[in-house]
Structures are given as structure tokens and as C-alpha cells.
Amino acid sequence: MGLFDIVLNPTQPPIIYTPKSEPEAWLAIMFSCMAVDEDISEAETNKLSQIMVAKTLFQNIDKVALYEKVMNLQLQLGSKELIDRSVEKVAEENKPTLFALIVELLLADGILADKEKEITDYLASALDLEEHLATKIIQVILIKNKDNIQL
């Protein structure tokens, strides 16, 4: 490595990150899925806000600070790495619920990009969901959202 390489491309220390709580893990995973296609729509942002307001899991949490934290981590680590570092904090009984909410989140703008489909498969595996359960969740969410108007 030459002198210019050292100055222009300094090596960054590895990012050490593990979510401190289950709500942080949920948000890290939800944001990672939402940001995977590099196009976060207003509908997706609104849906994420609705989820965070509706779920008791997020009560008494500084949602804005947590959102900024996971947004920056997703930019540094990427979606899959952030998911991998977060899934262990999700309680086993909450994994299907989180998966269902993410499917709804990804469908919020009415567009399911190829990267979003790919991250959905990746997430189902990372959460250790059985294929028949993940498929059933997707089917139900698609039925529920059929003919929705985009707000």
C-alpha cells in the first residue's frame, strides 16, 4: 500500500454493534428491509411510524433518536449485516409478528422491488421461520392489502 493509499483510503476500524434492546432490534430490521432498495417512500415511512406508535414495544422510547441510530448503522453496515446483528434480540414468539409487519411495510407503497423480495426471503431465513409459515403470512398480507389505495 502506497502513501496516497494510506491517506486517501484509510482503513476504518470495524463497526461493533449489537442492539441494546428488542425494540432497537425490531427497528434495525424494519429499517434495513425498507432501505434495501435504496428508495424509502413516504408510504413506507408513514407505515413505519404507524407501527412504532401502535406497538407497546415502542412505548417510552425516543423513537427519533433510535431511528437516526439505525439509519446510520444501515448506511455503514448494509441491510443484511444489520439484520444478522439484530435477529438474536427478537424474542422467538415475536418473530412471526415482526415478519408480518415487515411484509406490510414493504407493500406500503404498492411496489415490491426485486431487492425487497430478496430481503424478505433473507429475513424469513434469518428469523428461522418455517417456509410454510412465512408463505402463509405473505398470503394473508397480500389478501388484506388487495385493492388498497396508496395514501
Domain ranges of the chain: 20-145
Cα atoms found within 13 Å of the Cα of residue 130, Cβ hemisphere only: 3
Residue with cell 409459515: 133
Instruction: Please give the Cα distance from 53 to 5 (Å, whole number).
Output: 47
Asked if residue 118 has pLDDT above 60, the reply is yes
Grid coordinates representing 13 are: 476500524
Beta-carbon neighbour count of residue 106 at 10 Å? Answer: 25
Asked if residue 140 has pLDDT above 90, the reply is yes
102-114 pLDDT, tens digit each: 999 999 988 889 9
Q: Which of 23, 109, 97 is nearest to 67 (CA)?
A: 23
- Give the fold, CATH level 3, of 20-145: TerB-like (1.10.3680)
Least confident span in 10-14, 85-89, 127-131: 10-14
pTM for this model (two decimals): 0.88
* Cα-based angle 68, 74, 78 (whole degrees, multiple of 5): 175
Instruction: Please give the Cα distance from 26 to 28 (Å, whole number).
Output: 5
Q: Which of 74, 72, 120, 87 is nearest to 19 (CA)?
A: 87
How many whole angstroms from its chain centre is CA 150?
21
Asked if residue 21 has pLDDT above 60, the reply is yes
Instruction: Please give the Cα distance from 41 to 19 (Å, whole number).
Output: 25
